[in-house]
Amino acid sequence: MRDLNDIYQLAIDEDNMSVKNEIFENIKDLSIKVKKNEIKCFLSNETDSSDCYVEIHAGAGGTESQDWANMLRRMYMKWSDKRNFRSHLISEHKGDEAGIKSSTIKIEGDYVFGWLKKESGIHRLVRISPFDSGARRHTSFASVWIYPVVDENLNIEIQDKDLRIDTYRSSGAGGQHVNTTDSAVRITHLPTKIVVQCQNERSQHKNKETCMNMLRARLYDFEMKKKDEESQNKEALKSDIGWGHQIRSYVLQPYRLVKDNRTNFESTSPDKVLDGDIEGFLEKSLYQI
């Protein structure tokens, strides 16, 4: 930085505009690097560097909320693409008419869990409904829950007697992709009532393996929240995906604004946000103690 300042002073003395512009570009690059290092200071927890599972559930409201849940899933996958992360679908339950009732995706990349961990909570949408012939304004809710993909070497004890394993036929896209065998797997951990499911593989064995990895992640998260005395609050939120619990509101009508209720960070470009431009929200949530 001192070298840049010395060169800048020389450029001023000689009125050399090209050198000035070059220095400005170097300062911009330096600022970006400083910003990245600053953010990494807030990504120092044990699991922050891990990949993560993103679990999305539609709230009450039928087609409206199911479509909203699908929009949220698209938003996180778009964000993943923008950062050159890798995302793929683990399981989904389609809505009766449109959207999804629930879905789980896995996102792989550097510090994915650290970036997304504070996205857990209720997300609220206000818009003119495309499903309402009267073009009325509707409010929809969906929940998002983020879990770290835990290291295989982490000792998490799971006993067979605590598991109920169900198999069922996967829902497919149609044609040659329809799964004609009961390869989808659902595992219920009886002591905690945690349920995980996977249907993206044709092999029942692979789906079961993915389920067990997800269960280990959920149990790890459950224990961490319990230690931090946050588990009860989170479970209370899950039982009521609706008013008074939202962490963020996405308003498309009568005005256009996305606002995070915890940090008060706002964006007046909801279309960009829903296309995955959520970096500002993620950074602000990381800085919040």
How many whole angstroms separate alpha carbon 204 and alpha carbon 178? 15
**pTM metric for this prediction:** 0.78
Residue holding tokens 């911009």? 28
Q: At what angle do helices 231-238 and 204-227 cross, to 10 degrees?
A: 120
Query: In Å, how far are 5, 92, 284 from 255, measured between CA atoms?
Result: 46, 32, 23
Write the pLDDT tens digit of every residue in 178-226.
445 678 999 999 999 999 999 988 889 999 999 999 999 999 888 888 7
Q: Do residues 109 and 50 touch, judged by C-beta distance below 8 A?
A: no
Residue holding tokens 């070497």? 153
Q: What angle do CA 59, 60, 65 make, to 5 degrees?
A: 60
Please, which residues bridge with residue 167 across strands?
A: 185
Does residue 177 have a pLDDT over 50?
Answer: no
Write the pLDDT tens digit of every residue in 16-75.
666 666 766 766 666 666 666 666 777 888 889 999 999 999 998 889 999 999 999 999
Q: How far is CA 244 from the centre of its chain?
A: 21
Whole-number pLDDT of residue 138: 92
Does residue 4 have a pLDDT over 60?
Answer: no
